[in-house]
Amino acid sequence: MGRRKVMVIGLDCAEPSLAFDKYAGVMPNLRRLMKKGCWGLLRSTIPPITVPAWTTMVSGADPGELGIYGFRDRTGYGSYELDFATARTVRVPRLWDVLGDAGLRSTVLFVPQTYPPPAELRGSMVTCFLTPGADSDYARPVELKQTLESSFGPYIVDVPDFRTDDKPRLLESIYAMSRQHFAMARFLLDKDDWDFFMMVEMGCDRFHHGFWRHIAADHPRHVPGNRFADAGREYYAYLDRELGTLAEFADADTTVLVVSDPGARTMKGGICLNEWLLRHGYLALEELPDRPTPLHRLKIDWSRTKAWGEGGYYGRVFLNVRGREPQGIIPPEQLDTECEALKAMLEAIPDEHGRPIGTVAHRPRDLYPVARGTPPDLIVLFGNLDWRSIGSVGTGAIHAVGNDTGPDDANHSWDGILVASGAQVSAIGRIDGAEVRDIARTVLGLFELAPPETMGGTGILSGVRRVREQGA
């Protein structure tokens, strides 16, 4: 056996029912990898969202261990402010840190939470979509930025103008971004002397949020035969072609992993979390807005506020506790009771017709062995992810259905995809029970390196997991 290498191709939000089933016919390269190795669902983190899920993927630490519960987290109980979770927020070693210490070289492209880039890195890096712009310091080594720019033009950090009604242009922008990223990947796969290669392409996620209603028959606003009805098949076929060109860089001693996190599903609508808290006496404002307004633009009357929330693909609720928050009012000894009561009420919010939607609200202490940083008091999955959380106030209603939710056609769902293939992977077909947090340990296992103590999960390919024999 020659030099062991590992290639991880991440497709943010690639949906298993599409990649493995509905569009399987247009994904010959993915099927080839599946046939040669193993494949299955890859369970996401709670919450199932890009930040922190990809950091869990590359560190093996769950969100509680990371102290990262979303894109923006509270900076401490002593303040009501939230701050971005960036590369600096990550306290645990990630794959390229561990591999670098072992003398191995990594090429790390577009992996969420890599901005700002480290001062030094054994290998190369292009930072993620949380990079401010093409003018930022986004590459390591530093001179790589110039090299990439001269070949591929300014770095397309993300899809510009995502919230647009001009769908043809949006689709073009998604393709333009993906094409550039895959071209950069090929360039570095060829040029770099890498042991570990990893890229995460966000295009698939942007495609789902922007076009799900057009491709998913179960979407309430799906129109059969609409002009984008085949756009999903075409985009997945395109991704597969890119996958094929990357896989050509894998020699006999390279293990290829194709992973996604999370998956995608139809979004039925949004629950206006803060509007609900306001109407139920948990949240008080100095002045009520007459149009939908983000909470951070409004003046909260903390002396009468027991709880406030954050919007997103899931909701977060924070309680205003005396002695914990700067102007807390809930007596600390009542925190538990208040939290349980609110949890029950949130879980009981029905849809706009009064039908139950099956919301689940979690307390972080029930989800993670430790909850570091400043965790929310409740993580709320409205309709178990059928509904999103809307943070704005002044919406005039608790439910936002129809066009109120903007272009967000899809919400995240629990499972992404996992495909593994290579000399170190036997052709065992379908495997069950893999989780996002298993990937880091799995990769280190392929290099026969010991994981650091913060790296949880299980090596998927080490045979520890229950493996079901089944032809792919």
Partner 1 sequence: MSGYVIWLTGDRVRMDALAEALRAGLTGTAPSIDVLTAEMVEDRLCAHEPRNADFRDVVVRRLAWLCQVLARNGGAAIAVAASPRRAVRDEARRGSDRFLEVLVHGTMPDGYEPPLEPALEVRASDAAYSVVDEVRRTLAARGLVARPPRVYTPEEEARVRERVEKLGYA
CA distance 49 to 53: 6
Q: Which SS3 state, helix, strand or coil, does residue 257 take?
A: strand
Q: How far is the CB of 389 from partner 1 (least distance, A)?
A: 10
Name the token pair of 62.
């769950």
184 to 213: interface string for Zn ion, x by CB under 5 A:
---------------------x--------
The pairing of beta strand 106-109 with beta strand 196-201: parallel
329 to 368: interface string for partner 1, x by CB under 8 A:
----------------------------------------
Residue 459 interacting partner from partner 1, Zn ion, none (CB closer than 5 to 8 Å by kind) = none
Q: In which element (H, E) is residue 124 found?
A: strand 123-126
Pair 42, 416: CB distance under 8 Å: yes
Per the listing, tokens 């032809």 go with 471
User: What is the end-to-end Cα distance of the chain in Å, rounded?
Assistant: 26
The reply on whether position 408 binds partner 1 by CB under 8 A is yes
> Could you tell me where the DSSP H helices lie in 368-452?
439-446
Q: How far is the CB of 343 from Zn ion (least distance, A)?
A: 25
The reply on whether position 292 binds partner 1 by CB under 8 A is no
CA distance 81 to 168: 38
Going by C-alpha positions, the residue among 57, 67, 127, 118 that lies closest to residue 91 is: 67
Q: How far is the CB of 363 from partner 1 (least distance, A)?
A: 22
Residue 454 interacting partner from partner 1, Zn ion, none (CB closer than 5 to 8 Å by kind) = partner 1
The reply on whether position 289 binds partner 1 by CB under 8 A is no
The reply on whether position 294 binds partner 1 by CB under 8 A is yes
Residue 7 interacting partner from Zn ion, partner 1, none (CB closer than 5 to 8 Å by kind) = none
Per the listing, tokens 């002396």 go with 303
Stretch that binds partner 1, among 14-22, 111-119, 176-184, 211-219 (CB under 8 A): 111-119
Judging by beta carbons within 10 Å of its beta carbon (0-12, 13-18, 19+), is residue 148 exposed, middle or buried?
buried
Question: Which residues lie near Zn ion (CB under 5 A)?
Answer: 205
Question: Which residues lie near partner 1 (CB under 8 A)?
Answer: 49-51, 70-72, 84, 86-88, 90-94, 97, 115-116, 118-119, 129-130, 132-133, 136, 158, 162-163, 206, 209, 294, 310-313, 388, 391, 406, 408, 452-454
